C-alpha cells in the first residue's frame, strides 16, 4: 500500500467504525454534543498515532508472549498524559467525557491497529496508518454528533442554529436524539448509507 492509501483509506473504504466495527463503545457515548465528540476524536487520533509509532520502533525487541502487556502499558501511559492535559486545559470537557477518557485505553481501534499494522511495519507507515484510522474515527463521531446536537438541542458547538421563529411556529427539539438509543440507531443508518454507496462492503447472507 502506498502512503496515500494508508492515510486516506481508513477515512471511508476501510473505516474503523463503519467497516471494521472497532471502537464503538466511546463512539456512541460521547456524541450527544459536537464539542466532546471533537475533543474525543482528537485525543483518540493522537493516542493511535503515537502508540503506533512507539510500538513500531519497539517491534523487534518485544517478546511475542508479553506483547499485550507492553502495548497496554504504552497506551495507558499516553492516555494518562492526555487525561492530565485535558484536566489542566479543558476541564469542562474532561468532566463531560468522564470515564470515556480512561476508556481510550481499551478502545479496540488502538489495540487493533497496533496488532494488525504497527507490529509488522516501519514507523513512518505506522504513523500514517494511526493518523488515518484516528481521523476516520473522528469523522464518524462528528457526523453522528452533528445530527444528534442539531436535532436534539437545536445547537452546534453550543451555539443555537435553529431560528427562534421556527419554535414559535411549533417546531420542537427531538428529545430522543440526546438519549443513548438514538446514537445506536443513527450509527446503524450511517452504516446503511455507507454500504449502499460502497456495494462491495455488503455482507453476504
Partner 1 sequence: MENLVNIFIRSTFIDNMIFAYFLGMCSFLAVSKTVKTSLGLGIAVAFVLLITVPINYLIDNYLLKPGALTWLLGEPASGIDLGYLSFIIFIAIVAAVVQLLEMFVEKFTPVLYNQLGIFLPLIAVNCAIMGASLFMQERDYANVAEATSFALGSGIGWLLAIIGIAAIREKLAYANIPAPLRGIGITFIITGLMAISFMSFLGISL
Whether the CB-CB separation of 162 and 171 falls below 8 Å is answered with yes
Candidates 102, 108, 100, 111; CA nearest to 180 is 100
CB-nearer residue toward partner 1: 7 or 83: 83
Tell me which of 1, 85, 161, 196 binds partner 1, using CB under 8 A.
196
CB-nearer residue toward partner 1: 60 or 203: 203
Contact range with partner 1 by CB under 8 A, out of 22-30, 35-43, 116-124, 136-144: 22-30
CB-nearer residue toward partner 1: 5 or 173: 173
- Helix ranges, 98-169 (H): 99-102, 108-116, 123-153, 164-168
Tell me how far apart the alpha carbons of residues 151 and 170 are, in angstroms, rounded to a whole number: 14
Whether the CB-CB separation of 2 and 103 falls below 8 Å is answered with no
Tell me which of 10, 23, 132, 134 binds partner 1, using CB under 8 A.
23
Q: What is the DSSP letter of 159?
A: E
Q: What residues between 31 and 60 interact with partner 1 by CB under 8 A?
A: none
Whether the CB-CB separation of 6 and 131 falls below 8 Å is answered with no
SS3 156: strand
Q: Does 142 bind partner 1 (CB under 8 A)?
A: no
Tell me which of 37, 44, 50, 105 binds partner 1, using CB under 8 A.
105
CB-nearer residue toward partner 1: 5 or 198: 198
Which residues touch 52 (CB under 8 Å, ≥6 apart)? 113, 114, 117, 118, 126, 127, 129, 130
Which residues touch 14 (CB under 8 Å, ≥6 apart)? 20, 136
CB-nearer residue toward partner 1: 168 or 205: 205
Q: What residues between 176 and 195 interact with partner 1 by CB under 8 A?
A: 179-185, 187-189, 191-195
List of residues contacting partner 1 (CB under 8 A) = 21-29, 68-69, 72-73, 76-77, 79-80, 83-84, 98-99, 102-103, 105-108, 111, 179-185, 187-189, 191-196, 199, 202-203, 205
Amino acid at each position: 500500500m502506498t502512503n496515500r492509501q494508508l492515510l486516506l483509506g481508513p477515512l471511508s473504504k476501510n473505516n474503523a467504525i463503519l467497516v471494521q466495527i472497532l471502537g464503538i463503545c466511546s463512539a456512541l457515548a460521547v456524541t450527544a454534543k459536537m464539542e466532546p465528540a471533537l475533543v474525543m476524536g482528537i485525543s483518540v487520533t493522537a493516542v493511535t498515532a503515537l502508540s503506533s509509532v512507539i510500538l513500531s520502533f519497539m517491534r523487534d525487541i518485544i517478546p511475542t508472549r508479553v506483547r499485550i502487556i507492553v502495548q497496554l502499558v504504552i497506551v495507558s501511559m499516553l492516555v494518562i498524559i492526555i487525561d492530565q492535559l485535558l484536566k489542566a486545559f479543558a476541564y469542562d470537557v474532561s468532566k463531560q467525557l468522564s470515564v470515556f477518557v480512561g476508556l481510550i485505553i481499551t478502545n479496540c481501534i488502538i489495540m487493533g491497529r497496533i496488532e494488525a499494522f504497527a507490529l509488522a511495519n516501519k514507523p513512518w507507515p505506522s504513523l500514517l496508518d494511526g493518523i488515518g484510522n484516528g481521523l476516520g474515527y473522528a469523522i464518524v463521531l462528528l457526523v453522528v454528533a452533528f445530527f444528534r446536537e442539531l436535532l436534539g438541542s437545536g445547537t452546534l458547538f453550543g451555539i443555537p442554529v435553529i431560528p427562534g421563529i421556527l419554535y414559535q411556529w411549533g417546531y420542537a427539539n427531538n428529545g430522543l436524539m440526546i438519549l443513548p438509543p438514538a446514537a445506536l440507531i443513527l450509527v446503524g443508518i450511517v452504516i446503511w448509507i455507507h454500504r449502499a454507496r460502497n456495494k462491495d462492503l455488503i455482507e453476504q447472507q
